[in-house]
Structure 1
Amino acid sequence: MRLAAALILFVPIVAAQALNLCPNAVVVGPQNSTAILGYISKAQKAVYIEAYALTWRELAQTLASLAQRGVQVYVVLSGNVYGGIPTTEKQLVDYLKNNGVNVAYNYDFKFVHSKAFVVDNKTVIIGSINPTYSGVTSDLGLAVVVQNSTLAREIAAVILNDFNGVYPSYNYTGVVISPINSYRYLSWLLQQRGKAYAAVEEIYESSGLADALMSKAALALARVTDVPGVQTVDGLTAKVIVVGDYVYVGSINLSGNSIRNNRELGLLLRCPSLAAAAIGLIKQWAGTAATRPASTTTYRSSATASTTPAAQIGAPQLSNLLALLLAILLALAILSAGGRRRRKRKA
């Protein structure tokens, strides 16, 4: 194992099942996947990334530029990749290292399959969007953006420890980590009241969760599956499950390897507005977008994992998912403009 050069150490927060927290924004692939780059480009101190593969040249260029400006950049990539590490990735890794970016291949798991980004120990972007050409331009993915310093430090700790080959047993509230707790968290989610809506790239009996999902599934989508009743959707890479007000979003598939052998990261959030939006998105991906009365969906931000989020970020009336996606993009623009105004006032 590599020596721990930059571990983040702190006392983990008390164990619970879900964070009572709504994301500040969502990223829906491929509609606005490049928004990830916008958050990363604003880094002032540090960026931590863990991903299966990296072939997104614009991201590599941004990371190199940040490192040249003195920002600490750490990237963990899977040492094991189906078909071998892409040639483009090898070229980009050499480029990153030559420009001061810390890059490590991790071979200690069957696959390092996370898609997690932490900026300045304040902002977390986590979900199923790979920093690859197809991941950004064509895959049907989903990630959430959470501005929460406690959560950011927790995810950064996992990434840095994986960088250094150090593997403690994490006990973070609402942070779903394979192979540590993903079966327990997802099993708990599927025991909650309400119908289940799922869009998960792989749904296999080997997960041990397929029966629990299908016993309460109103709609279940996958790209590949061996489970009867699951609808297949080409290009689906999302990993999102909704039950009631609870939403799981991350990199973890419902497969044996993903739960027991890979390094995977996800979040379990209690957020009614995110649940409503995710259900709408799943129905659109299924080609059966619901015909229902317009509803109000509100995205909220919270500085802590409290039951009373601190601020609302818009409240668009949604009659269909197109309106939702437009609202998401508008919210991102408003957040960006607000940040610029605050920086000008401080100046």
Structure 2
Amino acid sequence: MSRVAWFAAVCLLVGGVAGPAVGATTESTDVAVDGRTDAAQPFQPAITAVYPNPVADGDRGEFVVLAFPNGTDIGRYELTDADGTLSFPNATVGGRVAVTTAPTVVRNRTDYRVVDADGSVALANGGDRLRLIRGNTTVTSARYRDAPEGEIGRFDDRGALTWRPLGRTNRSVVTATGGKARAFTLPDAPDVPLEVVRDADRRILLAGYTFTSERTAETLERAADRGVDVHVLLEGQPVDGITRRQARLLDSLTEAGVTVELLGGPHGRYAYHHPKYAVADDRAVVLTENWKPAGTGGHASRGWGAVVSQSEIVGGLAETFRADADWRGARPWTEVRRGRSFGTSGVANGSYPSQRSPETVPVNRTRLLVTPDNAGSEVTAALDDADESIDVIQMSIDGPDQRFLRATVRAARRGVDVRVLLSSAWYVEEENRRLVEHLRGVADREDLPLSAKLAEPGGDYEKIHAKGVVVDGDEVLLGSLNWNGESIRQNREVVLALEGEAVGAYYRDAFESDWGGDAGRPLPVGIVAGVAGCLVLALLVVRRIDFGPDVGIGPDR
């Protein structure tokens, strides 16, 4: 694994969310979301989660999650707070159950078995202390305070509580060994994402933030017309709003039989649904770019992407899609658009040369990371494990104290060559320039191998929108994850981690080209021949000149 020694600078982001302090006196086992796991049976009853503040009038639909050993008769237990008591029916259970006085409502909010309780325990939004009792004995207790609206609080095995939106997943990293990836960059290869969905025979699951690509819409409509099951999942409340162009395309998709759903609203579990990927039959494409002319259309942005076919990764993406699309926060487009007006926006139409062709390269290992579930810790670990180099390309980074950036600077301090390339687009130029100056200052004061600069597109693209990292030249991280705290902790994002010398070399070469203009890009044959001729002529001239001892030769002459 040879490395080019450059002083470089990298920036990444903040992560980790801690909930308010609480107390719980018994062990509980962490679970996926609000209800899909009973993998570990508790040794004794426990209070594992509370949902005190539903998004509903009168807080209708409150519940408490209790965990019981197998074969427990829950009729012998009661749940109480300072103001009331819930009694349970005589039933034998094992694992986790959601106890509530509104079972019909709660069954739509959790996958746990729902127990219809009698009595009255009003879970206070400002905080409460709950006790699970058997006779006159308190078996376990738990305390919470300041319950956020629409969020479930989960107790860990130490009794600490973390709040997260109800329904948020807790997915593990998906890993596949071997196989190949089709690596590509944008705007160089805008046909690659379309080729993936164009060839589908059975299913297309397309996830995105916004969608304004006429070409992609037409491809999806043709697929639906030939019987392919096509499902599109987008963000319902993007920062700049839904445009008339997007509304028109989504209308057309719906009329063509495509299932179009948007996430968000009062039941949204993420700040933004921000991933960019598609599953088509047994292949998948993961991108840094939006499904719009500026991104996948190749008319503006520098982006990275990869097509993979490892069954574990494709299956993991499909499961992520279903987990998000099946949540009640996903609303049909026809419902979202009802009674709404939409604004206008410009459409990118730039034209750029294709400097880098797609390549199918072997990979040793591929991992699927998602936020807020696991990507924050995994990206941090990849940076902390770097031995030789880290190359980062990002639109922007929040600031010098972010989680990934701190990991990158730590790497530079242990001798890793770090480079950070940020966008020079007008809307981020000032903040990016400040960060570049900060990183350069750190590098100068501490004599670190850390470099940072703003991109100079030079006609190859308009602006950087890529979110990519190359670690040690043989591990690549690419996807929708912006380097800011919200992306790590609150958004749904998708990242591919691709390992191997060949895949690393492809994206490292792409980075080199953008870092140094034409550096790393093969020169045209004519230029190479001209340079060679000049060198020959210079050698002949040098041999005919007698340099005296006081003649200076250098750049100042």
Q: Measured at CA, do residues 181 and 15 of structure 1 come closer, stay the same or move farther in structure 2, by a change above 3 Å?
A: closer
Structure 1 residue 35: deviation in Å?
1.7
Alignment of 1:1-347 (within 5 A): 19-21=176-178, 23-107=180-264, 108=268, 109-120=270-281, 122-135=282-295, 136=297, 137-165=299-327, 174-192=367-385, 193-205=387-399, 207-214=402-409, 215=412, 216-223=416-423, 224=428, 225=432, 227=435, 228-229=438-439, 230-233=452-455, 235-244=463-472, 245-288=474-517, 290=519, 320=522
The one-character-per-residue Cα deviations of 1:150-174 (angstroms, maximum 9, x if unpaired) are 211110111122112279xxxxx72
> Based on CA coordinates, which of the two structures has the bigger radius of gyration?
2
Cα distance between partner residues in 1 of 2:261 and 2:203? 16
Structure 1 residue 322: deviation in Å?
9.0
Cα distance between partner residues in 1 of 2:186 and 2:418? 23
The one-character-per-residue Cα deviations of 1:8-48 (angstroms, maximum 9, x if unpaired) are xxxx99857x6544643122100112221112111000000
Q: Measured at CA, do residues 281 and 166 of structure 1 come closer, stay the same or move farther in structure 2, by a change above 3 Å?
A: farther
Say how many residue pairs are matched. Answer: 282
Cα distance between partner residues in 1 of 2:275 and 2:523? 27
- On the 8 A contact 1:74/1:160 being kept in 2, the answer is no
Cα distance between partner residues in 2 of 1:150 and 1:19? 6
Q: Measured at CA, do residues 270 and 40 of structure 1 come closer, stay the same or move farther in structure 2, by a change above 3 Å?
A: same
- On the 8 A contact 1:22/1:269 being kept in 2, the answer is no
Structure 1 residue 76: deviation in Å?
0.6
Q: Measured at CA, do residues 74 and 2 of structure 1 come closer, stay the same or move farther in structure 2, by a change above 3 Å?
A: farther
Structure 1 residue 289: deviation in Å?
5.1
Letter in 2 for 1:151: I
Give the TM-score of the pair, scaled to structure 2.
Answer: 0.47
Structure 1 residue 79: deviation in Å?
1.1
Cα distance between partner residues in 2 of 1:191 and 1:140? 27
Cα distance between partner residues in 1 of 2:233 and 2:107? 13
The one-character-per-residue Cα deviations of 1:71-111 (angstroms, maximum 9, x if unpaired) are 00111101121211121111111110111101111112222
Letter in 2 for 1:270: E
SS at match of 1:158: helix
Unaligned runs of 5+ in 1: 5-11, 168-172, 292-318, 324-347
2:442 counterpart residue number: none
Letter in 1 for 2:327: G
Give the TM-score of the pair, scaled to structure 1.
Answer: 0.74
Cα distance between partner residues in 2 of 1:181 and 1:321? 42
The one-character-per-residue Cα deviations of 1:205-257 (angstroms, maximum 9, x if unpaired) are 36411122233453111224463333223611111111122111111011111
Greater per-residue helix proportion: 1
CA RMSD of aligned residues (A): 2.8
Higher relative contact order (CA 8 A, sep 6+): 1
Q: Measured at CA, do residues 217 and 251 of structure 1 come closer, stay the same or move farther in structure 2, by a change above 3 Å?
A: farther
SS at match of 1:83: coil
Cα distance between partner residues in 1 of 2:312 and 2:217? 27
